[in-house]
Amino acid sequence: MNEGPYTHQASDSAYHFTAAALRAGHEIVRVFFYHDGVNNGTRLSVPPQDDRNVSERWSELANEHGVELILCVAAAQRRGLLDEDEAKRAGKDSNNMAPGFQISGLGQLIDAGIQADRLVVFGD
């Protein structure tokens, strides 16, 4: 997932694709968020009440189906997305990752590509 929420259709398309595949009985082990896609993992977004909450939707999907939601560490740090450990390491006073999201490296993307029958990319 290479695009952020609310600015590009790719984020919604990736979510709906993933949810539909899981409902159809397919196994999805991991979704890797890269470039601006890491912005899907913030817990600080506050969309209007009549709009979807993209981060919450991903968090709920991960919780219900055990899907790993991985934010690329380099892309996340550049954009100020930090888990508790990364915040401490960087000397920051708080973290902002939504539940169910984890920070890791590109090795997780490579591993997913090796394990999976298909690798689907959303966004530019």
Domain ranges of the chain: 9-115
**Residue matched to tokens 């968090």:** 59
Q: Is 106 exposed, middle or buried (0-12, 13-18, 19+ CB in 10 A)?
A: middle
- Cα gap 18→27, rounded to integer Å: 10
- Cα gap 109→57, rounded to integer Å: 21
How high is the pLDDT of residue 124?
Answer: 87
Q: What is the pLDDT of residues 29-48, one digit of tens each?
A: 999 999 999 999 999 999 99
Catalytic residue (choose from 72, 75, 76, 103)? 72
CATH classification code of 9-115: 3.40.1260.10
31 is catalytic: no
Task: Give the pTM.
Answer: 0.94
